[in-house]
Structure 1
Amino acid sequence: MQHQIMNFVALGANPAADLSALSLFMTANWLVKAIMLGLLAASVWVWAIIFDKSIKLRRMKAAAADFEEQFWSGGSLDQLYEEVGKAPSDPLSATFAAGMREWRHANERGLTSSGAMRANLAQRIERVMSVTVSREMAQTERYITVLATVGSNAPFVGLLGTVWGIMHSFTSIAAAGNTSLAVVAPSIAEALFATALGLVAAIPASIAYNKFSSDIARFGDRLDSFVTEFSAILQRHLEERG
């Protein structure tokens, strides 16, 4: 009976704890605070990458569609090169510009006169465009690995904060000798808050990584198809000259 009275007094002496996010952060252990700040920074970084990639991929697809419309319109390739060759605005036009630049350079040096030179030229143009595709895709895929890293590791980092926070809480509770719910609940809540932050950072990162990886892979296939088609066009021009 005396023990129950003491617990009742303890509950009365400890009013309802503030379990807001700011309060949970401020009362957390220093290591848990560091983990929370790291996860919050990772979440901000993830969303910055998501917005940046979303805008860039949308613009890139629109620019590629405009370029393909011009390319397949039946107009002069030389004129198209004059329009986009100096400052390509998307990977597709950059690939075209690289191939046309090599083609013009070969024409200026007279490398399209003999059969052996024409065969080597076709291979060289295709190789130049393939290198351009690789470079452009590497630029497009920049920071994508950050999404994969955060998506796979943030929950474990948050779990580390939770485990450490609970250990610290149990130590404090044991030292105080008070196991009432009013005393235990805030400590457990602030520890679990680290896991929640880990999930908040990981879930959008994982979804965005899968979405962007799929979109970039499809765009890469689009570039590879263009390289094949454009190489076939240049090969046909070389054969007509022969």
Structure 2
Amino acid sequence: MMLPFTALGSVGLSYALEQDVFPVRFVMWGLFMLSLLSWAVIVSKSITLLRSRSSDAAFVSKVRVSKRPLDLYEADEEGPESPASTLYRKGAREATYHLLKGGPAPADGKVKGSACLSQGQMRLIQEAFLRGEDEAALKLRSGFSILNAAYIGAPFLGLLGALWVLMSAFSSVGEGADLIQLSPAVSGALGILVTAVLVATPAVFAQIILHAVGRERLKVLGDFRVGLSRWFEYGLAAKTVAHDAEYQGFPTTAPGESAADVTGVARRKRRQLGPIFDRMEDSHHSYSEPEINPIARQTALQSVQA
């Protein structure tokens, strides 16, 4: 047995669909298309975000076990649908160009060069990383405009159709209209509004959820870019004395001291502060900065420079 409000709704929608093609049927067709597009975006973006999360995790694990910044690029490792892979390849391509001085790639695919890039070249590589991050972020944000159109445009389309149905009903009935004569028109107008709300509601919640997930992915991607930039700088930038003292713990020879004296002092101090130096040196084999107590780091650096 059909419920009263269900019967009234079906009568109202039938009444609305019997109106002229423009604008009522045009409005209903527009709502149907918005609903179809918004659900397509919701499903596709959900799948894309899930795949990008798993692809990023797999690619980052490969980066962590790499010994050199360009190992993955030389091996042509690429994570499909991975924003982290897109970011990495942008910077690696720029670094390879500068290491080869713009010349052709070697036959074995191995870039013969390390620790020889200037600070200006490193800035260009960092800009390449930023471009890669922007490109990956653009892919993550694609499709959101359709959801915006669905949850903003659907209520206005529904209101337009509802008002048009009511105006048509009042103009056709005339002054002697009563509630019984107007009930199908009122039901049809409300049916159009309910349809518009049903189209807009999933788009609103999907926009909120997908935006939150997208912001989380962009934050992780930004952290990966910062760590990757440091790793490339430690592995490819031309070392200075300060850089070597900070990240390798090797002191320079002071006036009046022999290299053997300095090496012996450094060896004794290294035994005392060995764990701290070991963690500092691990930064050469990882894309992220090791977590070291700042006071311990400063003590170690002062000890090798004393």
* TM-score, L = length of structure 1: 0.81
Judge conservation of contact 1:28–1:190 (CA < 8 Å) in 2.
no
Q: Which amino acid aligns with 2:92?
A: M
Structure 1 residue 86 displacement after superposition: 6.1
Could you tell which deviates more after superposition, 56-65 or 17-26? 17-26
Matching residue of 1:234: 232
Judge conservation of contact 1:85–1:97 (CA < 8 Å) in 2.
no
Q: Which amino acid aligns with 1:28?
A: Q
Structure 1 residue 64 displacement after superposition: 0.4
Judge conservation of contact 1:154–1:198 (CA < 8 Å) in 2.
yes
Q: Deviations over 1:117-162 (max 9, x none)?
A: 5101111111001011112211221120221222123212211211
Matching residue of 2:191: 193
Matching residue of 1:19: 10
Q: Is residue 108 of structure 1 aligned with residue 100 of structure 2?
A: yes
CA distance 1:129–1:212, change in 2 (3 Å): same
Seq. identity, %: 24
Residue in structure 1 matching 2:52, options 35, 51, 60: 60
Residue in structure 1 matching 2:62, options 63, 66, 70: 70
Structure 1 residue 60 displacement after superposition: 0.8
Q: Which amino acid aligns with 1:189?
A: S
CA distance 1:145–1:156, change in 2 (3 Å): same
Structure 1 residue 34 displacement after superposition: 1.1
CA distance 1:169–1:123, change in 2 (3 Å): same
CA distance 1:80–1:219, change in 2 (3 Å): same
Judge conservation of contact 1:29–1:165 (CA < 8 Å) in 2.
no
Tell me how far apart the structure 1 counterparts of residues 214 and 9 of structure 2 sit (CA, whole Å): 46
Matching residue of 2:126: 126
Judge conservation of contact 1:99–1:125 (CA < 8 Å) in 2.
yes
Q: Deviations over 1:76-106 (max 9, x none)?
A: 5433224455675411111111111222222
Q: Deviations over 1:152-203 (max 9, x none)?
A: 232122112111111111112227x45252x322111112222112111111
More helix by share: 1
Q: Which amino acid aligns with 2:216?
A: R
Tell me how far apart the structure 2 counterparts of residues 200 and 45 of structure 1 sit (CA, whole Å): 14
Q: Which amino acid aligns with 1:190?
A: G
Tell me how far apart the structure 1 counterparts of residues 12 and 174 of structure 2 sit (CA, whole Å): 25
Q: Which amino acid aligns with 1:96?
A: Y
Q: Secondary structure at the match of 2:125?
A: helix
Structure 1 residue 51 displacement after superposition: 0.7
Could you tell which deviates more after superposition, 67-76 or 129-138? 67-76
Residues matched between the structures, number: 223
Matching residue of 1:179: 178
Judge conservation of contact 1:42–1:150 (CA < 8 Å) in 2.
yes
Could you tell which deviates more after superposition, 74-83 or 57-66? 74-83
Judge conservation of contact 1:92–1:223 (CA < 8 Å) in 2.
yes
Could you tell which deviates more after superposition, 128-137 or 77-86? 77-86
Q: Which amino acid aligns with 1:237?
A: G
Could you tell which deviates more after superposition, 87-96 or 194-203? 87-96
Structure 1 residue 216 displacement after superposition: 1.5
Tell me how far apart the structure 1 counterparts of residues 57 and 11 of structure 2 sit (CA, whole Å): 49
Matching residue of 2:153: 153
CA distance 1:22–1:185, change in 2 (3 Å): closer
Residue in structure 2 matching 1:79, options 71, 95, 104: 71
CA distance 1:54–1:132, change in 2 (3 Å): same
Computing the radius of gyration over CA atoms, which structure comes out larger, 1 or 2?
Answer: 2
Structure 1 portions without partners, runs of 5+: 1-15
* TM-score, L = length of structure 2: 0.65
Q: Secondary structure at the match of 2:19?
A: coil
Judge conservation of contact 2:115–2:238 (CA < 8 Å) in 1.
no
CA distance 1:66–1:237, change in 2 (3 Å): same
